[in-house]
Amino acid sequence: GEDVEQSLFLSVREGDSSVINCTYTDSSSTYLYWYKQEPGAGLQLLTYIFSNMDMKQDQRLTVLLNKKDKHLSLRIADTQTGDSAIYFCAESTWGSQGNLIFGKGTKLSVKP
């Protein structure tokens, strides 16, 4: 079956790097996504990576994919207080017909 796991909480100091980790079980994943949810808001797509890639960088965001270990990470450089939010990992697989399977989310707290 399809399952996406994330640690629930992460706390960092402003200016440090944050690394949010995610593991998934379905080896037929095609795309893997990182979404951000601020309080009372919907989900905002931050970045995504195709399963044949190892890394993707977009400004302060770096996504690393280890397909062998089914491990995905999101690194946020120079973390700011505005980055405080819940971050969801999600996968799209051939079996899910493009539907997204979400993890439970990691709550990132950034302390000044």
- Residue of 2, 14, 31, 73 that binds another protein (CB under 8 A): 31
Residue 100 CB, nearest distance to another protein (Å)? 7
Q: Which is nearer to another protein, 16 or 54 (CB)?
A: 54
Residue 98 near another protein by CB under 8 A? yes
Between 22 and 76, CB nearer to another protein: 22
Beta strands in 1-112 (DSSP E): 4-6, 9-13, 18-24, 29-37, 43-50, 55-58, 61-66, 71-76, 85-93, 100-102, 106-111
**Min. distance of Cβ 66 from another protein in angstroms?**
20
Residue with tokens 């993890």: 103
- Does 48 engage in binding with another protein (CB under 8 A)? yes
Distance between CA atoms of residues 90 and 31, nearest Å: 8
For residue 97, state whether it binds another protein (rule: CB under 8 A).
yes
Q: Which residues contact 59 (CB under 8 A, 6 or more apart)?
A: none
Task: Provide, rounded to whole angstroms, the least separation between the CB of residue 89 and another protein.
Answer: 8
Q: N- to C-terminal Cα distance for the chain?
A: 41
Positions touching another protein (CB under 8 A) are 4, 30-31, 35, 40-45, 48, 50, 88, 90, 92, 97-100, 102-105
